[in-house]
Amino acid sequence: MGTARPGLPQLVVVTFALVALFGVGVHGRNHIHKKPHGDGGAGHRGGAKGGSTVVSSPAVPPDDNGTPLVAPPPPPSGSIVPSDPATPAQPAEQCVFDVREYGATGESTADDTEAFRAAWSAACAVESAVLLVPSDGTFTISSTTFSGPCKPGLVFQVDGVLMPPDGPDCWPPSDNRRQWLVFSNLDGMTLRGAGTIEGNGEDWWNLPCKPHRGPNGSTLHGPCDSPTLIRFFMSCNLVVQGLRVENSPEFHFRFDGCSDVLVDGLFIRSPANSPNTDGIHVENTERVGIYNSKISNGDDCISIGTGSYDVDIQNVTCGPGHGISIGSLGVHNSQACVANVTVRNAVIRNSDNGLRIKTWQGGMGSVSGITFDGVLMENVRNCIIVDQYYCMDKRCMNQSTAVHVTDVSYANIRGSYDVRSAPIHFACSDTVPCTNVTMSEVELLPFSGELVDDPFCWSAYGIQETPTIPPISCLQDGIPDSLLDNPDLKCR
């Protein structure tokens, strides 16, 4: 393996460019395409005759009571952001493919899957096409992969309600139980809308095999596959904007094998006790921007898995949930590599964790170039935590290798913590210590109760640029010789 690659050039985000790309509605002439074989009882609707319109998505989602959140400023100059998606800002014309014209009823109890597949096939073949889920219906479709390649400028516009079958008992036996909507092999696609994607996840959460669903808090045996709600796979130049996504059976969004991804203005919500409902999961994906979003769920707000590079997270509010996590990494003695992750101007409330890095014993590779800057905590149990002894059932064997955690900066981290745990917790590997940890302007006070003044620190090397509250004096100087030129710790 070679040495860790340098960070990619950083791009400057300009306000009017974002407005031009994402803040505009559909311009020009609308073409409503009818179902190819018969009209299915639906008449042809044109723009001049009061036909369907494509609604521009808000830049920032509403909060729980419907009040729009205040839009924060755009990312500052120098942020790591994905490349500009190849979508024309002012298309000369856009062809609108309304799923009703392909036979969809929008009556919630009907199966509209085939209509959506037909509309996708037609839209995929036309440049600057919009597949429209209209605002006056609730559409149910079963597990579907929308695959490319497609013509440039494709938009999947959800203005109504879109949802899967209601729970595992209604899931078609022939369908994949691990994923619902999959967008695959696409270049330059946008998923947006003023509508809602409803996951109908409650019956999945209550399967007896889920954590703590059995007698006395146990977990029972049995089928436990649950679908990720929306997955992007092997795609690039993606935009996901303005949607409300709720109650996913498992992960809400998963980006796997993708590049140049922009996520902006999402509202993601599931109950705090819903298991494995990560808000946004990124894996084997590079150049990702996640901005201006609000996420509350029962697991990680944002989780970053192996193979993730150049991830920029700004103006995100999390909680309740498990905070923003890098990992878990290195399971089953695997190599894991994550580099250049930035979290700025974030708020984390009422969460089990705040900023977490978690790795399994026995792994290899590295987590490097991590910056946490300007994060407000409110009643968070583990505000800052590195856990290199991560284990799902606490019966894991001690192992001598580990994923190297290095070059991690915590700056301007303020707020309050739940006194049941120390607010700062560095549990690093005996043989592969954490190195180059930097602490600056870290001030954490109890949400209620007395100050916990004994942060946990094991095998961690770094510096305090300013005094911290509570005080931390256990960071060691230098870098152990055992980490120099260790090939197991190298990434690409």
| Residues belonging to the active site | 322
Instruction: Tell me which residue has tokens 């600057």.
Output: 128
Phi, psi of 109 (to 5 degrees): -85, -15
Task: Phi first, then psi: give them for residue 15, nearest 5 degrees.
Answer: -60, -45
| Sheet with 324-329, edge to edge strand ranges | 144-147, 179-184, 228-233, 253-256, 280-283, 302-304, 324-329, 353-359, 382-387, 424-427, 456-458
Residue 350 contacts by C-beta under 8 Å, 6 or more apart in sequence?
Answer: 272, 319, 320, 378, 379, 380
Distance between CA atoms of residues 347 and 374, nearest Å:
9
Closest CA to 356 of 394, 330, 318, 383: 383
Which residue type is seen at 448?
S
Q: E strands of 249-362, at which residues?
A: 253-256, 259-264, 267-269, 280-283, 286-296, 302-304, 308-318, 324-329, 335-349, 353-359
Question: Quick count: other Cβ atoms within 10 Å of Cβ 454?
Answer: 12
Q: Any idea how long the chain is?
A: 492
Q: How far apart are CA 178 and CA 229, in angstroms?
A: 9
